[in-house]
Amino acid sequence: MSATILLVDDHQVVRQGLRALLKVEPDLQVVGEAGDGLEAIQMVERLKPNVLVLDLMMPGVNGLEVTRQVHQRFPDTRIIVLSMHANEAYVLEALRNGAIGYVLKETGITDLVHAVREALAGRRYLSPPLSARAIDSYIQKAQAAELDPYETLTTREREVLQLAAQGLTNAEVAARLSISPRTAETHRANVMHKLGLETQIDLIRFALKRGILPME
Amino acid sequence: MEPRSTTLPQWIAKFAAPRTIAAKIKRGILTGLLALQDRVNALVNRTRGLPPEQGAFATLFYASPVAICVCRLDDGRIANVNDSFLRMTGYTKAEVSGRTWRELGLWRDPDDDTRMRRALAESGALSDIEIAYRPKHGEVHHALLSVEQLDWRGERGFLMLCYDITERKRAEERQRWLLSQVRASRERLQALSKRLLDVQENERRHLARELHDEIGQTLTGLRFVLQAAARATTDNLPAHLDEAQTLVNELITRVRNLSLELRPAMLDDLGLLPALLWLIERYSAQTQIHIDFGHSGLERRFPAEIETAAYRIVQEALTNIARHAHEDEAAIRLWVDEDVLHLQVEDWGAGFDVNAALEANRSSGLSGMRERAGSLGGRLRIESVQGVGTRVEGEFPLNGKHLERRERERNDSTRR
């Protein structure tokens, strides 16, 4: 028995091309075509295809969202995302949403056929040059880092910190920087808040540690 | 001209006539006096010739909302003042009696005193000149001063009438300031819309050129290859088709780059972080400028207009660095802190004069960045020191609250 495939792409010319190219594979049978995300979900529900070949970018409900919904509601349908984006962020998002294959439109049909067979066997497939390693390195790059709180101070706040650490009062800081005492007070409060400091001693300690105040 | 002398009752009668009020002092100031006009006229007639301390004029003199000060003509010493005058200057009656304005330091500009005396000598009167006076305590105030010569208990004197216009001056100044702000923002807006048109035109030119020169040329090439393939023998057909395929792939790449340059689909599909990572990677590859990118709290979607603004500001800042900084390293920081998205782009390159650049409106990029942030209730600061580097700091409120309002609220709560 041949495997059933549903093709989804908002461009008819692309669907035609895909259908023609898959026709020559005797064990693969295209059982339907859909032109947008909503139609795709309805047809998956009706046809329960083995494989869903899905364009990533479609108006309305896009491929990423279709992937998520289909994967949740019909986990038996394997999803292969077709995309023009050779970008790890897209691949990662597609895989996270439940796709098993990610095929670049430009790499051609043999790649898609290969991906469909891998998907039927329950194996993940990514078009070259995409790779699990590239995705890992992307994940690492995208990792949030603990930011140095000092770096998150604005230039003004850094100036206030330096003057405050030298023991200047808000009024003196204000006079030195030609700002209002109230503004100086706000900046100082922001500095304390951002650096997680509570007392003037904390502030001086921080300034010494960071070399903002020269140790004498 | 012979100096005229007027008695106080005459003076007040004249002063209280509606025509004169309208001419001399803004409507509303002496509403009370106006209401009393008829009574005053009657009283003037009845009490003509009585000393000013007596009768209804005394009441009028002391109760007048206008500060009144009577001085002797020869030496300018104060003979009498009303309560309004004391309120206005902050002195007690004892402190001012027998002193001159100069001695009390009331004139801010002693020239005004000279001017007044000259006017008294020439015409016996002076009306509505603007003076600045210094009360006992506090800042300099502004007043309208009218002076008239009069007889005071048989002595020749003059009467000074001051109406404080400090508040009005302040309001006027504020209005002038607001007006200048409005004018400035209108000019900015005009410059911006002109810039917008220029930018749009440049963008179109770039697109047109790109479509014609790059994509058009490649398509023409493809047509030649396919024409050759049509005439080719079976043997060299595959070679022609290979060539055609290469050109098609090239076309796909070009079209995709063009579309990404206009607006990266990633920004809409995946959000700010993936779009920035892509931008930075591409930028570093193109410019050889290394970017140290640190972020926290970005693994989420922000309102679309904030994602766009933040992306464009980073993009613009990076473009500026590539153009002007002459530096191969820069840092980008983005973080979320209490419903505010912060961004920082910093380089240690050549730097430039921010004010001059904004002033000249030469940099559409700078003002564009600022407008973008401002239109979302956020802020953008650009600081640059020549030879030290440039720092772009942006903040965007995520809860729709204008940043300044948010700060006010925070201040108020810490004060409590």
Q: What is the pLDDT of residue B16?
A: 52
Which pLDDT score is estimated for A73? 92
Mean pLDDT is highest, among B152-161, B270-279, B360-369, B404-413, for B270-279
What is the model's pLDDT at position B132?
A: 92
Per-residue pLDDT at A215 exceeds 70: no
CB B52 within 8 A of CB B43: no
Mean pLDDT of B224-232: 88
Q: For residue range A68-99, what is the model confidence (pLDDT) as tens digits? A: 999 999 999 999 999 888 888 889 889 889 99
> What SS3 state is found at B399?
coil
The residue-averaged pLDDT of B187-216 equals 83
Q: Are residues A88 and A107 in the same domain?
A: yes
Do A193 and A88 fall within a single domain? no
* B277 contacts A138? CB cut-off 8 A: yes
Distance from B179 to chain A by nearest Cα, in Å?
23
Return the DSSP state at A178. Answer: T
Residues A158-214: pLDDT tens digits? 888 888 888 888 888 888 888 888 888 888 888 888 888 888 888 888 888 887 776
According to DSSP, residue B49 is labeled T
Mean pLDDT across B203-232: 87
B266/A contact by beta carbon, under 8 A: yes
Residue among B344, B310, B348, B308 at smallest CA distance from B327: B348
Q: Do B414 and A141 touch (CB under 8 A)?
A: no
Q: Which of A93, A115, A142 is the last residue of a domain?
A: A142
What's the average model confidence in pLDDT over B363-384?
80
**pLDDT over threshold 90, residue A53:** yes
On whether both A132 and A160 belong to a single domain, the answer is no
Looking up residue A202, the CATH number of its domain turns out to be 1.10.10.10
**Angle in degrees, CA B184, B188, B194, rounded to 5:** 145
A120 lies in some domain = yes
- Residue B177: what pLDDT? 92
Interface contact flag, B274 A89, Cβ < 8 Å: yes
Residue B3 burial (CB count, 10 A): 14
Q: Which of B273, B383, B391 sits opposite A142 (nearest CB)?
A: B273
Note whether residue A204 is domain-resident.
Answer: yes
Is B265 near chain A, with CB under 8 Å?
Answer: yes
Are the beta carbons of A54 and A66 closer than 8 angstroms? yes
Per CB-CB distance under 8 Å, the chain B contacts of A56 are 269
Q: What is the pLDDT of residues B100-154, one digit of tens each?
A: 999 999 999 989 999 998 988 888 888 888 999 999 988 899 999 999 888 766 7
The helix or strand, by DSSP H or E, that contains position B78, with its residue range, turns out to be: strand B78-81
The top-scoring range by mean pLDDT among A53-62, A111-120, B189-198 is: A111-120
Nearest by CB: A89 against B277, B383, B414: B277
Q: Let me know if residue A124 belongs to a domain.
A: yes
The predicted structure's pLDDT at residue B50: 46
Alpha-carbon Rg for chain A, nearest whole angstrom, is 29
| C-alpha distance from residue B260 to each of A12, A77, B111, B275, B343 (Å) | 23, 32, 71, 10, 22
Cβ pair B221, B240 in contact under 8 A:
no
Last residue of a domain, one of A142, A166, A187: A142
Query: Quick one: pLDDT band at residue B21, thresholds 50, 70, 90?
Result: very low
**Could you say which of 2.60.120.1440, 1.10.150.120, 3.30.930.10, 3.30.565.10 is the CATH number of the domain covering B266-416?**
3.30.565.10
How many contacts, defined by CB atoms under 8 Å, are there between A and B?
70
Provide the domain count of chain A.
2
Residue A177: inside a domain, yes or no?
A: yes
Q: Which residue from A89, A142, A182 is facing B266, i.e. has the nearest CB? A: A89
Sign, Cα dihedral of A174, A175, A177, A178? positive
**Residue ranges per domain, chain B?**
8-164, 171-262, 266-416
Structure confidence at residue B361 as a pLDDT band (50, 70, 90): low
* Rounded Cα distance, B356 and B374, in Å: 20
* Percent of chain B whose predicted confidence (pLDDT) is above 90: 21
Question: Between chains, do B381 and A57 touch, taking CB under 8 Å as contact?
Answer: no
d(CA B415, CA B52): 54
Highest mean predicted confidence (pLDDT) among A141-145, B53-57, B304-308, B382-386: B304-308
In this prediction, residue A147 carries a pLDDT of: 78
Domain boundary among A107, A142, A177: A142
Shared-domain flag, residues A117 and A167: no
- Contact between B58 and B65 under an 8 Å Cβ cutoff? The reply is no
Determine, for residues B411 and A186 on separate chains, whether the beta-carbon distance falls below 8 Å: yes
Residue B36 has pLDDT above 50, yes or no: no
Same domain? For A91 and A115 the reply is: yes
What stretch of H or E contains B186? Answer: helix B166-209
Tell me the shortest Cα–Cα distance from B185 to chain A, in angstroms: 23
Which of A87, A105, A146 lies closest to B278 in CB terms?
A: A87
Chain-chain contact of A62 with B269 (C-beta, under 8 angstroms):
yes
CATH number for the domain harbouring residue A137: 3.40.50.2300
Helix (H) or strand (E) holding B37: helix B37-47
Domain assignment present for A215: no
A136 plus A89 within the same structural domain:
yes
Q: What is the mean pLDDT of chain B?
A: 80
Give the pLDDT of residue B201: 86
Inform me whether the pLDDT recorded for B37 exceeds 90: no
| Whether pLDDT at B415 is above 50 | no
Contact B333 A106 (CB under 8 A): no
| pLDDT band for position B9 (cuts 50, 70, 90) | low
Do both A28 and A82 map to the same domain? yes
Chain B interface, best mutation among A66, A85, A185, by max B CB count within 10 A: A85
Same domain, A137 and A157: no
User: Could you tell me the sign of the dihedral formed by the alpha carbons of B142, B146, B149, B153, in that order?
Assistant: negative
Chain B residue numbers touching A147 (CB-CB < 8 A): 294-296, 333, 335
Q: Which of residues B407 and A107 earns the better pLDDT score?
A: A107
Q: How does DSSP assign B340-394, residue by residue?
A: EEEEEEEE-S----HHHHHHTT--HHHHHHHHHHHHTT-EEEEEEETTTEEEEEE
> What is the CATH topology of the domain spanning B8-164?
Beta-Lactamase (3.30.450)
Write the CA distances from B313 to B8, B227, B321, B363, integer angstroms. Answer: 71, 47, 12, 13
B28's tokens: 């509303």
Determine the pLDDT at residue A45: 92
Give the span between the Cα atoms of B168 and B166, in whole angstroms: 5
Same-domain pairing of A40 and A106: yes
- Average pLDDT of the segment spanning A16-45: 89
Confidence check: pLDDT of B343 > 90: yes
Which of A93, A182, A194 is the closest to B270 by Cβ? A93
Domain that holds residue A191: 149-209
Q: Are A128 and A98 contained in the same domain? A: yes
Q: Which of A157-171, B85-99, B324-338 has the highest mean pLDDT?
A: B85-99
- Cβ-Cβ contacts under 8 Å, A185 against chain B: 411
Chain A positions in Cβ-Cβ contact with residue B344 (cut-off 8 Å): 151-152
Give the model's pLDDT for residue B56. 63
Smallest Cα distance from A147 to chain B, Å = 7
pLDDT digits (tens, 9 = 90+) for B261-270: 888 888 888 8
- Cα B79–chain centre separation: 47
SS3 B401: coil
Closest Cα in chain B, distance from residue A198 (Å): 13
The reply to whether A173 and A137 lie within a common domain is no
- Is A90 in the same domain as A160? no
**3-state SS class at B310:** helix
**For A99-153, how does the pLDDT look when each residue is reduced to its tens digit (9 = 90+)?**
999 998 877 677 888 899 999 999 889 988 888 888 888 888 887 777 788 888 8
Lowest-pLDDT range of B128-132, B148-152, B302-306, B318-322: B148-152
* Tokens (6 digits) for A111: 């790649």
- Please judge whether A89 and B278 are an interchain contact, meaning their C-beta atoms are less than 8 angstroms apart: yes
* Contacts within 8 Å (CB) and 24+ apart, B193-199: B195/B361, B195/B364, B195/B367, B195/B368, B196/B364, B198/B364, B199/B364
- Alpha-carbon distance of A82 to A102, in angstroms, equals 6
B145 to chain A nearest CA, in Å? 35
Write down the ipTM of this complex.
Answer: 0.76
Main-chain phi, psi angles of B393, to 5 degrees? -120, 125
* Measured distance between the N- and C-terminal CA atoms of chain B, rounded to whole angstroms: 67
